[in-house]
């Protein structure tokens, strides 16, 4: 079988982006080749560098270039609180709320059995080990207030309770079905302050 042409390969590669179908992948490819050759070079270099240097932080699972990220090492943070979020973008929103000074754990997803994402895929054992370090006193479950986020929180709460760890959940101040990433900082701050024991 012949190798796909460079153009075919580029279009196929662009389709790995979320929401990009064959038509838009082709449009992007032509755009990059015709009008944005320098941008394309920059993109290729940035992707290569990011793939080589970024990996999960040994403590919080967020992306970092070091073994342990700056936030996890910061003496300004309260190590007795661990806030569990689904995605790195959620960390940014909680930080913007300025209502939290503890540490984080990023799941990099949520339980979604239909998509084949279970506790093993999300490496819940790593979170469990992190939360059982003897320093963490409270785990705040800040997964999204969607069905999958609630299922994830429920599952995690049971696991953490079984180890005698105090667990709390964001208050219902945020509308049902809302995703942390798109919530405003003030609502997230309130939901954190009003969090309830799970």
Q: Are 104 and 62 in contact (CB under 8 A)?
A: yes
Q: Which listed range, 21-29, 41-49, 60-68, 163-171, lies at the site for Zn ion (CB under 5 A)? A: 60-68
Rounded least distance, CB 82 to Zn ion, Å: 11
Contact call for residue 72 and Zn ion (CB under 5 A): yes
| Least distance between Zn ion and beta carbon 105 (Å) | 9
**Among 28, 59, 107, 145, which residue sits at the site for Zn ion (rule: CB under 5 A)?**
59
Helical H runs in the chain?
6-14, 22-35, 37-53, 70-73, 88-97, 124-131, 147-162, 185-193
Q: Is 170 in the site for Zn ion (CB under 5 A)?
A: no
Q: How far apart are CA 30 and CA 26, in angstroms?
A: 6
Residue 32 CB partners (closer than 8 Å, separation 6+): 10, 39, 40, 43
Nearer to Zn ion by Cβ, of 88 and 119: the residue is: 88
Q: Would you say 59 or 169 has its CB closer to Zn ion?
A: 59
Which of 88, 29, 31, 81 is CA-nearest to residue 57? 88
Q: With binding defined as CB under 5 A, does residue 139 bind Zn ion?
A: no
**Interaction site with Zn ion (CB under 5 A):** 57, 59-60, 69, 72
């Amino acid at each position: 079988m012949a190798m796909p042409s460079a153009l075919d390969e580029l279009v196929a590669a662009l389709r790995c982006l979320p929401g990009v179908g064959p038509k838009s992948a082709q449009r992007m490819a032509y755009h990059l080749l015709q009008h944005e050759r320098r941008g394309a070079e920059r993109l290729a270099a940035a992707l290569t560098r990011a793939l080589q240097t970024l990996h999960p932080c040994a403590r919080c699972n967020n992306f970092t270039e070091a073994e342990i990220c700056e936030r996890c090492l910061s003496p300004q943070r309260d190590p007795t609180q661990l806030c569990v979020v689904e995605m790195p973008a959620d960390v940014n929103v909680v930080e913007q709320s300025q209502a939290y000074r503890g540490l984080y754990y990023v799941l990099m997803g949520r339980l979604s059995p239909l998509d084949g994402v279970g506790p093993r895929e999300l490496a819940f054992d790593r979170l469990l080990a992190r939360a059982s370090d003897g320093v963490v006193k409270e785990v705040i479950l800040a997964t999204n207030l969607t069905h999958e986020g609630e299922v994830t929180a429920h599952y995690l709460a049971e696991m953490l309770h079984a180890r005698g760890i105090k667990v709390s959940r964001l208050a219902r101040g945020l509308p049902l079905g809302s995703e942390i990433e798109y919530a405003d900082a003030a609502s997230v701050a309130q939901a954190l302050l009003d969090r309830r024991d799970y």
